[in-house]
Amino acid sequence: MNQRVTRAIILSRTDYGEADRIITLLTPDYGKVTLLAKGVRKVKSKLAGGIELFSVSEITFIKGRGEVGTLVSTRLVKHYEHIVSDLDRTMLAYELLKRLNKVTESEVEEEYFALLQGALEALNDLSVSLDLIRFWFDAQLLRLGGQGPNLQTDEHGSPLSPEQQYTFDFERMGFMAAPHGQFDAQHIKFLRLAFAGHSALALAKVQGGTKLAGECTPMLHHLMQLAF
């Protein structure tokens, strides 16, 4: 048997038969995998405790000949228990899982696993704004998909100036100088941090970060619509 061991986070799960479940997991080593968890819905199942939602687990599985493999064993590594203590955090966690499952193919880079783990860590910290987490997550999806905006130069190729105000041109995916533009140096610094490979916790440390995220959200939403 060709058994494989890796870390995993559940993206989705579907009941199958009387006691089984088909689960889709994101892994750093094998991308996105779909496995049959036999008997996992039974009370005494040895698999159930190691594959909780909103958790990082170590799993052993056998790759199937088709699209669905078989889950062999599980061990819980980290459970983000604070997420389920707050309904809004729980709903956002479900939303992010669903979104990541939708935009990723089977062969997906390890960075997507790191993104999802970082999102769960941020959601587990009750002091971090949900708006900041959602904003950071969307920015990272755009970055990983190669759809991030130009945050370095304006439409003429000149470095963005801390003394200038800008509007955003979606056709050019960059900023244009404008006397009464809605974006200034603070917005651009915040966007650079959001699109960098840092965690959502870094955004939470920015003074006025929630306000800046709110002011940049319409732009980010439009970028998401164009990309996905």
Residues 80-119: tens digit of each pLDDT: 999 999 999 999 999 999 999 998 887 888 999 999 999 9
Query: Cα angle vertex 129, ends 116, 164, to 5°?
Result: 100
So what's the pLDDT on residue 1? 60
CB-based contacts of 189: which residues, under 8 Å, 6+ apart? none
Residues 196-213: tens digit of each pLDDT: 978 899 898 999 999 999
Neighbours of 129 (CB within 10 A): 16
So what's the pLDDT on residue 50? 87
Cα 198 from chain centroid? 12
So what's the pLDDT on residue 228? 85
| Gap between the Cα atoms of 25 and 34, Å rounded | 6
| Gap between the Cα atoms of 102 and 75, Å rounded | 26
CB-based contacts of 187: which residues, under 8 Å, 6+ apart? 212, 215, 216
| Gap between the Cα atoms of 198 and 130, Å rounded | 17
Neighbours of 128 (CB within 10 A): 22
So what's the pLDDT on residue 92? 98
Per-residue CA distances from 91 to 64, 113, 123, 125, 152 (Å): 32, 20, 11, 15, 35
Neighbours of 158 (CB within 10 A): 11
Residue given tokens 């100036």 in the structure block:
161
Q: For residue 39, is it left (φ>0), alpha (ψ between -120 and 50) or beta?
A: left
| Average pLDDT of span 152-173 | 94
Structure tokens at 16: 């199958």
User: What percent of the chain clears pLDDT 90, i.e. is strictly above it?
Assistant: 81
